[in-house]
Amino acid sequence: MPDHSFASFAKKAFARRESTLILLLFVLLVPISVRSPQFLSMKNISTILNDMAILSIVAIGEFYVILSGGIDLSVGSIIAFSGMACGMVNESYPQVSPALLLLLGIVIGLAMGLVNGILVAYGKIPPIITTLGTVNIYRGMTFLLSKGTWVTAHEMTPAYIALPRTTFLGISILLWIAFFVIALCYYFSRFTRTGREIYAIGGNPTAAKFVGVDENRVRVVVFLVSGALCGLAGALWTARYASAVNEMATGFEMQAVAACVLGGVNFSGGAGGIIGVVLGTLFLGVVTNALPVIYLSVFWQTCVQGLIILLALTLNTLSDQHKNKKLLAQRRG
Amino acid sequence: MDEQRDLVAKSRLINEMSLKNRLIEFFTKWEVLLCIIFASMFIFFTLRTPYFLDWFNLMNATFQFSEKAIMALPMIFIIMCGDIDISIASIIALCAYVVGSAAQGGASIPSMIALSLLVGTLAGLFNGLMITTLNMPAIAVTLATQSIFRGISIGLLGDQARTSFPEGFGFFGQEFIKGTIIPFEFVLYLVLMLLFAFILHKTTYGRRLYAIGNSAEAARFSGVNVKLTRIINFTITGFFCGLTAVLLASRILSVRSNIATGWDLEIITLVVLGGVAITGGRGTVFGVFLGSLLVGYLKFGMGLLKFSGTLMTIVIGSLLISAVLLPRLLDLYKANRKLRLQAQR
């Protein structure tokens, strides 16, 4: 007999990781906004959201790879290559529209993701090794492409630079794109066959294969998605920061992985959701933005981020273990 | 009679094959392949530039990679057990901060070293305890501690640098063994390499690492204290981060918060290139020794030939991927061969 009472609903809702994260976010926001009322002003909120838009896109790509039981360390380099390519095309062919540049970024990302995916799926190289190799190769290719030079703001067209800043219904295009990606990926992971197959492969590859999931195909798909999203992020990155530099997005993979960890994505694969990842990204954004408010020097930002990741990880693990114990007890009883 | 002759002929055939097989087996070993790659690299550079095969240059080049090669040794233990540590560069930065600050405070050289080793060991112990007591994945925990340890040194040091060191501190990272052209760092590396090879290949502890890497569960049931072993691995690694921090600070005599950035991935690359399976349970210290020297001298030689750093990163990335892809293809080839031989018989 299913229990439909409010109490059981509330219990279920609180058992979900997403609600824990929202709760934590509020716990964090209350003292901050008491200390500095401007923190929750529309302007500051929109700053935080815009700062986090690109990270959320990349973190979602990283999410799919981690969900399948792998990891993608090459995201920063894919962003750099795609961003550099878009910047250089914009410099040499100003007539190419910004929308087409975004498309170019996605295509480049797809190609790089495909290489990762093929090496992992058919070369049977562990994802961490594959992407540890390609993070170097793609970064090197970025240097080869640019011959070490930069693309600066005055070499880019105003239309391209303005793209992420232009507002539509009071919200920047950058945010609209992020919303669109989030919605699309939510649908993809919840309601499509391939999306569910990624969960299956991450949860138990052997069992998934027995029910007919094509493991190789899924492994290629996750890297394709990750690559495409990084490609898009690269094109947006160049426009938002109005420059394409060879070293751009170095170490961004750690931020993306951190957002996933905060969002409750399990490293052994098969568990986690898009909403959690987005909340994790937001959490990182709030913490980063809040440090000056509590008079902590920006120099401590890295340390605080690390502590929060460790805390989130510990809480997630403890709650998982608690759940498993309860399940075991139920089975026995 | 006929039957007997047939048997003799058959066994001779099998013997010959096994000799051929053994040759194939030998030449498809990763360590042997590494030797071949290493030798051809030496020949290539020697033919291309007169400055490569010069004892002084070859010895001097070791300054560039000895520290990373030293860090690769304890990393073998960690990866052998199927774990990973991406916080080592941050621990090195933290220890380097300790060394620099102690030096500025007027500490003596032995106490500077002791402090650095202590902080490194504690940091490694922290990693190990977090990972094993709560049963959390090593990559997630060390991702967090990567930020924490680096963050502490950034927070304490800010945009400052520690540049005042006592007289004679430069010995560890800059000097040569008296009367020779061999750097102290490189000799230290060779000694440590032999020590790690002994531990991994000749002691119970080393065999346990292989057992854990192949199946932690099976190792546990056979009475190996898996958790303790993993904690020890991380603690040893922390200790060597402290040692490396001393060498690094002594070599460049300047400590900033961004010191050793990106070393985690470089050192893991050395270990994997050396033939240690990232899933654990397979690999040798000798392989990693060859891998470290290969990368070190590749960079040196390419630098002599004025190749850009870019090309080096591409070459090293490709080497890493082929290091895993090639043995797999060879395994496939071997398996196919075996099948064919069986079919013939």
* Helix H or strand E segment including B99: helix B88-104
* Mutation to test the A interface, candidates B87, B261, B299, B321, most A Cβ within 10 Å: B321
Give domain status of residue A292, yes or no.
yes
A27 burial class (0-12, 13-18, 19+ CB within 10 angstroms)?
A: exposed
More confident residue, A253 or B115: B115
Beta bridge partners of A167: A172
Cβ within 8 Å, pair A302-B147: yes
**Which site among B310, B318, B329 would you substitute to test the A interface, given the most A Cβ atoms closer than 10 Å to its Cβ?**
B310
Q: What are the tokens at B274? A: 């050396």
The SS3 of residue B168 is: coil
Provide the shortest C-alpha distance from residue B318 to chain A (in Å): 6
Tokens linked to B282? 């397979």
> Chain A contacts of B155, Cβ < 8 Å?
297, 299-300, 302-303
Residues of chain B contacting A313 with CB distance shorter than 8 Å = 136, 140-141, 144
Does A259 reside within a domain? yes
- Tell me what pLDDT residue A25 has: 80
Q: How many domains does chain A have?
A: 1
Residues of chain A neighbouring B147 (CB-CB closer than 8 A): 254, 258, 302-303, 305-307, 309
pLDDT tier for residue A110 given thresholds of 50, 70 and 90: very high
How far apart are the C-alpha atoms of B271 and A151, rounded to whole Å? 37
List of chain B residues whose C-beta atoms are within 8 Å of the C-beta of residue A301: 151
Give how far A175 is from chain B: nearest CA, Å. Answer: 28
| Four-residue CA torsion sign, B74, B79, B80, B83 | positive
For residues B257 and B162, give the distance between their C-alpha atoms in angstroms, rounded to a whole number: 10
Mutant choice from A132, A247, A304 vs B, greatest count of B C-beta within 10 A:
A132
Query: What pLDDT is stored for residue A58 in this prediction?
Result: 92
User: Best residue in B84, B145, B148 to probe A by mutation, most A CBs within 10 Å?
Assistant: B148
Contact B269 A119 (CB under 8 A): no
Give the C-alpha separation, A90 to A80, whole Å: 15
User: What percent of chain A lies above the pLDDT cut of 90?
Assistant: 15
DSSP assignments along A266-316, one per residue: -TTSS---HHHHHHHHHHHHHHHHHTTTTT--GGGHHHHHHHHHHHHHHHH
Q: How many CB atoms within 10 Å of residue B42?
A: 17
> Given an 8 Å threshold on Cβ–Cβ distance, is B328 in contact with A125?
yes
Strands A167-168 and A171-172, by their bridges, are: antiparallel
For residue B186, the model assigns a pLDDT of: 92
CA A320, A322, A327, A332 torsion-angle sign: positive
- On chain A, the residues whose CB falls within 8 A of the CB of B256 are none
In a domain, A12, yes or no: no
Question: Which pLDDT belongs to residue B168?
Answer: 81
Q: Which tokens sit at B191? A: 């000694």
The Cα of B166 is separated from the nearest Cα of chain A by a number of Å equal to: 28
Tell me how long chain B is. Answer: 345
Angstroms from B9 CA to nearest CA on chain A:
40
pLDDT of residue A111: 94
B169 φ/ψ sector (left φ>0, alpha ψ -120 to 50, else beta): alpha
Domain that holds residue A248: 19-332
How many other CB atoms are there within 10 angstroms of residue B90's CB atom?
A: 29
Tell me which amino acid residue A250 is. T
Q: What φ, ψ does residue A151 adopt, rounded to 5°?
A: -110, 120
> Quick count: other Cβ atoms within 10 Å of Cβ B198?
12
CB B200 within 8 A of CB B101: no
Which helix (H) or strand (E) segment holds residue B31: the answer is helix B30-48
- As a whole number, the mean pLDDT across chain A is 82
d(CA A147, CA A158): 24
d(CA A328, CA A77): 44
Q: Which residues contact A88 (CB under 8 A, 6 or more apart)?
A: A145, A146, A151, A244
**Of residues A261, A327, A317, A276, the one with CA closest to residue A16:** A276
What is the b/e burial string over A36-52, where b = at least 16 CB atoms within 10 angstroms of the residue's CB? eeebeeeeeeeebbbbb
Amino acid at the residue A66:
I
Query: Smallest Cα–Cα separation from A219: which of A234, A201, A207?
Result: A201
Instruction: Tell me whether residue A103 is in a domain.
Output: yes
Question: Using a CB-CB distance cutoff of 8 angstroms, which residues of chain A are in contact with residue B141?
Answer: 310, 313
CATH number at residue A54: 1.10.3470
Taking the CA of residue B96 as centre, how many other CA atoms within 13 Å lie in the half-sphere pointing to its CB? 32
User: DSSP of A63-100, one letter per residue?
Assistant: HHHHHTT-----HHHHHHHHHHHHHHHHHH-TTS-HHH
Give the minimum alpha-carbon distance from B238 to chain A in angstroms, rounded to a whole number.
Answer: 18
Nearest CA in chain B to A116: B321
Q: Report the distance separating Cα A220 and Cα A38, nearest Å.
A: 45
Q: Which amino acid is at B77?
A: F
Instruction: Pick B154's closest partner by Cβ from A261, A302, A318.
Output: A302
Residue B65, φ and ψ in degrees, nearest 5: -130, -5
Query: Which residues of chain A lie closer than 8 angstroms to B136, CB-CB?
Result: 313-314, 317
Biggest CA–CA distance in chain B, Å, is 91
Nearest to B86 by CA among B153, B142, B152: B142
Both tokens of residue B338? 């075996």
- Residue A6 within any structural domain of the chain: no
Q: Per-residue pLDDT tens, chain B, 345 aa: give them.
A: 566 677 666 666 666 566 777 777 676 677 888 888 889 888 888 888 888 878 888 888 888 899 999 999 999 999 999 999 989 999 999 999 999 999 888 888 889 999 999 999 999 999 999 999 988 889 889 988 998 999 999 989 888 888 888 888 877 878 887 778 888 899 999 999 999 999 999 999 999 999 999 998 899 999 899 999 999 999 999 999 999 999 999 998 888 888 888 788 889 989 988 889 888 888 999 999 999 999 999 888 888 888 777 788 888 888 888 878 877 787 778 778 778 888 877
Taking 70 as the threshold, does the pLDDT of residue A10 lie above it? no
Tell if the CB–CB gap between A132 and B272 is shorter than 8 Å: yes
A158 occurs within a structural domain: yes
Tokens for A67, please give them. Answer: 């969900």
A86 assigned to some structural domain: yes
- Predicted pLDDT of residue A60: 92
Query: What does the pLDDT look like over A38-90, one tens digit per residue?
Result: 777 777 778 888 888 889 999 999 999 998 888 888 898 999 999 999 888 88
Banded model confidence at residue A1, pLDDT cuts 50, 70, 90:
very low
CB–CB contacts below 8 A, A to B: 138
Q: Under an 8 A CB cutoff, do B314 and A136 touch?
A: yes
Give which of A30, A137, A309 is closest to B265, Cα–Cα. A137
User: Given an 8 Å threshold on Cβ–Cβ distance, is B314 in contact with A73?
Assistant: no
Whether B154 and A321 lie within 8 Å, measured CB to CB: no
Residue B222 touches partner A, C-beta closer than 8 Å: no
Asked if the model's pLDDT at residue A205 lies above 70, the reply is: yes
What span, in angstroms and rounded, lies between the C-alpha atoms of A283 and A272?
Answer: 16
Q: Is B281 left (phi over 0), alpha (psi -120 to 50) or beta?
A: left
Question: Taking CB atoms and an 8 Å cutoff, what residues of chain B touch A132?
Answer: 265, 268-269, 272, 317, 320
The H or E element spanning position A171 is strand A171-172
Which residues in chain B are closer than 8 Å to A265, comparing Cβ atoms? none
Write the residue in B137, B147, B272 that is nearest to A267 by C-beta: B137
- Segment holding A39, helix H or strand E: none
Alpha-carbon torsion (B257, B259, B261, B263), positive or negative: negative
Question: How far off is chain A from B140, nearest CA to CA, in Å?
Answer: 7
- Which chain A residues are Cβ-neighbours of B159 within 8 angstroms? 299
Please name the residue of chain A whose CA is at the shortest distance from the CA of residue B144: A306
Of B150, B112, B147, which is closest to residue B257 (Cα–Cα)?
A: B150
| CATH topology assigned to domain B28-338 | ABC transporter involved in vitamin B12 uptake, BtuC (1.10.3470)
Region at B277 (left for phi over 0; alpha for psi -120 to 50; beta for the rest): beta
> Token pair 């920061």 is at which residue?
A241
DSSP character at residue A148: T
